[in-house]
Amino acid sequence: MNAQDDLIAGGFTKQRLDSPDVQYVAKQVTELMKKDYPNYKFLQVNSAATQVVAGINYILEIEFLSQGQKATWRIRVYESLQGELTIHKKEQLGGTSKAFQKISEIPVPNRYTEVSVQSEEISATIFVAIYLLQEKAPEYKFVKLHKAAIEKENEKSKRFFLLLEFRHKGKILFRSVILNKDEEGNLGIENSQDLKIDTSKYKVFHITGQKDTFPPQTEITVYWRRVQNIYFPQGRFEKQAKIRAIKAPFPGGGVSGEQITLLLKKELPHEKISQIYLRSISKGKEPEDYQNGRITIKGEANSFFNNYVSLDGENNLLMFLDISVE
């Protein structure tokens, strides 16, 4: 192999993986990574390349181990003439540090302080984060910000941690993002990685038999939206209130048409509702999908609609209503 064969795009030159310099830098990078991922342990270097500047740029693909799970990252590192190392860019290529069952299990990184997702500062940050992410993946549809945290480096420079939910072709995707805000107020994505989490978001309950029952007094969150064309409804389910299951004439608790009608009268006292439709959520579909099943509610005390109650990934019970207003 000649010198030309060792050159790769961008003026970088491939290096031997067992090179003492490569191994030293990789282990120092591992220590830097531990600031955000304290459980990471160095496994091996999968590829290495360098570029001589006023110092040395490294592009390394490093494999880490964390709690029995492997994670591979491509990391760009700058080594100054004084030997100081700085990570300029990092991207996860495969694996995940941990498989989570619930969103609530996902921790914020060390040294970050969790803040409200509704704060003004986070609202401005999330707008930029979504814009930057959708530049690369415009087909991803943003759904929700689940967690936010801030690390202050000084009075002007900050880093933000965001836990985002997206939808893509009927699938639910979770991604953690770290953004850096410099002293001039510019925001950029420093790190972004997909998270492995149980994404069986919705499940329809059935009232037949003991399976999938819930007891009386179980709390259920009811979402609704106003629609003009019930056959092709548009808009997102945003309004919400809570009800509790009542004793039913079958095992467990239930939700009656009378309960739902009274709830809407309480929440919308000044509106004349002409029709109420309950939506069932088909597996793999979003609640807003017009192909989901529906049924009309007329307020009967003896009609129960447990087969229109859904369960989300955090074991919350949900119902979705389309309402037509005169």
pLDDT digits (tens, 9 = 90+) for 116-145: 888 888 888 888 888 888 887 787 888 788
Q: What is the pTM of this model?
A: 0.45
* Residue ranges of the chain whose pLDDT lies below 70: 1-10, 67-68, 94-103, 153-156, 169-171, 196-212, 230-232, 282-285, 290-291, 313-314
- The helix or strand, by DSSP H or E, that contains position 124, with its residue range, turns out to be helix 120-136
Contacts of 18 (CB under 8 A, 6+ apart): none
Q: What is the DSSP string of 236-259?
A: ---EEEEEE-EE-SSSSEE-BHHH
Q: Which amino acid is at 212?
A: D
Identify the pLDDT of residue 209: 44
Structural tokens at position 17: 């993986």
Structural tokens at position 26: 């990789």
**Number of C-alpha atoms within 13 angstroms, CB side, residue 110?**
9
Q: Which amino acid is at 304?
A: F
Domain boundaries, given as residue ranges, for the chain: 3-97, 100-197, 219-325
Domains 3-97 and 100-197 share a fold: yes
Taking Cα atoms as reference points, which of 211, 239, 197, 217 lies closest to residue 323? 239
Query: What architecture does CATH give domain 100-197?
Result: Roll (3.10)
Q: Which amino acid is at 6?
A: D
Identify the pLDDT of residue 214: 84
**Number of C-alpha atoms within 13 angstroms, CB side, residue 141?**
9
pLDDT in tens, 160-196: 999 988 877 656 778 888 888 887 888 888 877 777 6
**Residue pointed to by tokens 């704060």:** 119
Identify the pLDDT of residue 230: 66
The hierarchical CATH code for the domain 3-97 is 3.10.450.10
Neighbours of 277 (CB within 10 A): 19
Report helix, strand and coil shares of the chain as percent, to nearest 5. 15, 45, 40
